[in-house]
A and B are shown apart, each in its own frame.
Chain A
Amino acid sequence: MQRQVALIKQSLLDQGYLDEQFMELEELQDDANPNFVEEVATLYFKDSARLINNIDQALERGSFDFNRLDNYMHQFKGSSTSIGASKVKTECTMFREYCRAGNAEGCLRTFKQLKKEHATLRKKLEQYFQLARQAGPKETARRPK
């Protein structure tokens, strides 16, 4: 089972959903915080959902305040780097480019894509953590400290 967990993780990394930051987080996990990574991920998804909401509302208003949107996205991007959400981060960067170019259409399109990536990652990570919890602490114990 642990091998399964490891495989899933590897595939997430390989597919670019996650980057080394995720590994760094796993390094931080220890006896004091055995579920550290999961806690961080949960926090991220909660916070990012809020940010997505803000952006959604801003976009819906149709006024396209690019500065504001850029600001939101800057926050979102920062947040996404915290867990190594690589694909999400890429979309963030693109979104900001469109903001700078004043391209509303581009923004809308990118944001849609971003939400999709975000949702996908969330699902995958949920699966991953579930498995990891089932697999037990050995997963982390194996990790060189």
Chain B
Amino acid sequence: MDKGFSPVGLRVLVVDDDPTWLKILEKMLKKCSYEVTTCGLAREALRLLRERKDGYDIVISDVNMPDMDGFKLLEHVGLELDLPVIMMSVDGETKRVMKGVQHGACDYLLKPIRMKELKIIWQHVLRKKLQEVRDIEGCCYEGGADWFTRNDETHYLGGGEDVSFGKKRKEFDFEKKLLQDESDPSSSSSKKARVVWSFELHQKFVNAVNQIGCDHKAGPKKILDLMNVPWLTRENVASHLQKYRLYLSRLEKGKELKCYSGGVKNIDSPPKDSEFSSGHQSPGKNSYGFSGGSSLIHKAETDPKQLASSSVSDPSDVHMPPKAKKSRIEFDPPISSSCAFESLLPWSDVPDPLESKPTILYESSFLQQQPLLPSQSPYVANSAPTLMQDEMKPSYETCVNADAFLMPQDKNSTVMILQDLALPTPYAMKLQEASSNVTNDTESILRSLNWELPESHHSGFIDTDLDFSWIQNEHFLANTSGNFQNFQFQDYSCSPSLLSELPPHLWFGNDPDECTLMVDHGLFIS
């Protein structure tokens, strides 16, 4: 798929259990000069997609299929491959269409499908590509930092390598590059090979996240490092992270978790599909921000580690052990305890602050609003510069967000981020308890996601499994969050979308002030 964009030869995968429609669609698509592959079963389709990562540009699928619900297929494709998916059905009921859109479909076609509807599907592919490009660019430009741009460009070209700051990047016309970039394998600039997230790979991913602990700390780079998969890039991880969170948060939202206490008012916007970050968050699709769902998990997962390393009761310790502390700016509620903040630190060695940034984007928005806590300031001072320099460079992705953050805050945002990470003691404890559950849940979640697990769960499971896991956590968190009743979530208004990504309980911390700080800069929320 790394070719310059052209509708001709667009590789379409059509999935429909109706043989008559399959034949018709195949003919119609061929008439549009697309390259068509047909498939009668959802599982078969997934197999094909995973086998040939990057082998298809777009997927068209019927909603009703015998072996798997079309929406589930949609989720899988979105999560694992990030391909545009068009749903089809003879049923045009609004709620079904909405469901499709909510699950991330680019379009919803009603049967009988006309040629003219198929003629324009290439626009979805182009749009998605451009969005990715814009995200990256947007990130860069938002911050305005030169190095961002440089990073971005380099990163984009280099697929995740560290950027050398030397070059100055002019207006890099991604779109142009995208369009002219014809099968030049070396010019990886606009495309990264699609990674197919096999179950094993995803498991590694989840393990890495769990290891890292705090949600926010789990930034793409960190995860990547822990995963130790040589061919995987930070970008891949970041993008996967985003989707994963989105997926989880979607499920979570679907459950209408009521346990969130506090005025988590902002958390009502449904997770967006790709651009989590309200705003551009991550360059390209690497929005690091985990959506609420994942943050929940991550958070919980992080906890054991955190808690283990520090006394549970000490909020400040709720952060990860030094090495882990690095960057991830988990979205831990910005608990007031300054200690917590400190514990979060070791920014100095944070490898990827930036990475965390994206994730933190959401968070940072919060963070920004908050003035640094005094206790944190020293930290900040130390870390900020380091952070800025080290972290920023490599992870341009994060930068974007980070940059945004930094802009207003003048580099204190990193500190903010850290602050946020601090978990209040009770919260932390709860999380710890929850964490073990969470870990298990991750498994079940994975299973439910049915990622190449031998015993394929049927779609029905996914929600259930996830529900359980989420619910458990939520209960915990709910209790904890009870402590934070006074939080003013509403301060986070600026980033509703961000917030929505995270489970409310993860968000905040008790301190309204802190919150205010953050939310408002809403940079990402552009």
Determine if B64 and A79 form an interchain contact, defined as CB atoms under 8 angstroms apart: no
Determine if B114 and A78 form an interchain contact, defined as CB atoms under 8 angstroms apart: no
Contact bitstring B190-212, A, C-beta under 8 A = 1, else 0? 00000000000000000000000
Determine if A74 and B19 form an interchain contact, defined as CB atoms under 8 angstroms apart: no
Q: Which residues of B contact A28 (CB under 8 A)?
A: 24, 27-28, 31, 115
Query: Of B17, B64, B111, which is within 8 A of A81 by CB?
Result: B111
Distance in Å from the Cβ of B478 to the closest Cβ of chain A?
35
Q: A25 near B: Cβ within 8 Å?
A: yes
Q: A24 near B: Cβ within 8 Å?
A: yes
Q: A24-B114, A24-B115, A27-B115 are in contact. Are A82 and B64 (CB under 8 A)?
A: no
Determine if A79 and B20 form an interchain contact, defined as CB atoms under 8 angstroms apart: yes
How far, in angstroms, from A132 to B31 measured CA to CA in the complex?
23
Query: Of A33, A74, A83, which is within 8 A of B20 by CB?
Result: A83
How far, in angstroms, from A23 to B184 measured CA to CA in the complex?
42
How far, in angstroms, from A77 to B19 measured CA to CA in the complex?
13
Q: Which residues of A contact B89 (CB under 8 A)?
A: 78
Determine if A74 and B91 form an interchain contact, defined as CB atoms under 8 angstroms apart: yes
Determine if B64 and A74 form an interchain contact, defined as CB atoms under 8 angstroms apart: yes
Q: A28-B28, A28-B31, A33-B27 are in contact. Are A79 and B112 (CB under 8 A)?
A: no
Question: Who on chain A is nearest to B88 by CB?
Answer: A78
Distance in Å from the Cβ of A33 to the closest Cβ of chain B?
7
Q: A135 near B: Cβ within 8 Å?
A: no
Distance in Å from the Cβ of A118 to the closest Cβ of chain B?
14
Q: B141 near A: Cβ within 8 Å?
A: no
Q: A127 near B: Cβ within 8 Å?
A: no
Q: A21 near B: Cβ within 8 Å?
A: yes
Q: B173 near A: Cβ within 8 Å?
A: no
How far, in angstroms, from A135 to B490 measured CA to CA in the complex?
74
Q: A44 near B: Cβ within 8 Å?
A: yes
Q: Which residues of A contact B31 (CB under 8 A)?
A: 28, 30
Which of B24, B111, B114, B115 counts the most chain A CB atoms within 10 A? Answer: B24
Q: B90 near A: Cβ within 8 Å?
A: yes
Query: Of A25, A39, A44, A78, which is within 8 A of B111 by CB?
Result: A78
Determine if B90 and A78 form an interchain contact, defined as CB atoms under 8 angstroms apart: yes
Determine if B18 and A78 form an interchain contact, defined as CB atoms under 8 angstroms apart: yes
How far, in angstroms, from A28 to B113 measured CA to CA in the complex?
13
Determine if A44 and B20 form an interchain contact, defined as CB atoms under 8 angstroms apart: yes
Q: Which residues of A contact B176 (CB under 8 A)?
A: none
How far, in angstroms, from A24 to B20 measured CA to CA in the complex?
14
Determine if A82 and B112 form an interchain contact, defined as CB atoms under 8 angstroms apart: yes
Determine if B21 and A78 form an interchain contact, defined as CB atoms under 8 angstroms apart: yes
Determine if B20 and A21 form an interchain contact, defined as CB atoms under 8 angstroms apart: no
Query: Of B27, B62, B112, which is within 8 A of A84 by CB?
Result: B112
How far, in angstroms, from A99 to B247 measured CA to CA in the complex?
34
Q: B23 near A: Cβ within 8 Å?
A: yes
Q: Which residues of B contact A39 (CB under 8 A)?
A: 23
Determine if A47 and B115 form an interchain contact, defined as CB atoms under 8 angstroms apart: no
Q: A40 near B: Cβ within 8 Å?
A: yes
Which of A36, A71, A79 counts the most chain B CB atoms within 10 A? Answer: A79
Q: Which residues of A contact B90 (CB under 8 A)?
A: 74, 77-78, 81
Q: A101 near B: Cβ within 8 Å?
A: no
Distance in Å from the Cβ of A53 to the closest Cβ of chain B?
16
Q: Which residues of B contact A33 (CB under 8 A)?
A: 27
Question: Who on chain B is nearest to A45 by CB?
Answer: B20
Question: Who on chain B is nearest to A93 by CB?
Answer: B90
Q: Which residues of B contact A (CB under 8 A)?
A: 17-21, 23-24, 27-28, 31, 62, 64, 89-91, 111-112, 114-115
Q: Which residues of A contact B (CB under 8 A)?
A: 21, 24-25, 27-28, 30, 33, 36, 39-40, 43-44, 47, 71, 74-75, 77-79, 81-84
The contact sample of 13 A-B pairs, CB cut-off 8 A, is: A28-B24, A36-B27, A40-B24, A43-B19, A43-B23, A47-B19, A74-B64, A77-B90, A78-B18, A78-B21, A78-B64, A81-B90, A81-B111
- The 5 A-B pairs with the shortest beta carbon distances in the complex, nearest first, are A78-B90, A82-B20, A21-B112, A81-B112, A44-B20
Given A74-B91, A79-B18, A82-B20, 16 new contacts (CB under 8 A) = A21-B112, A30-B31, A40-B23, A40-B24, A43-B19, A43-B20, A44-B20, A74-B64, A74-B90, A75-B64, A78-B18, A78-B89, A78-B111, A82-B18, A82-B112, A84-B112
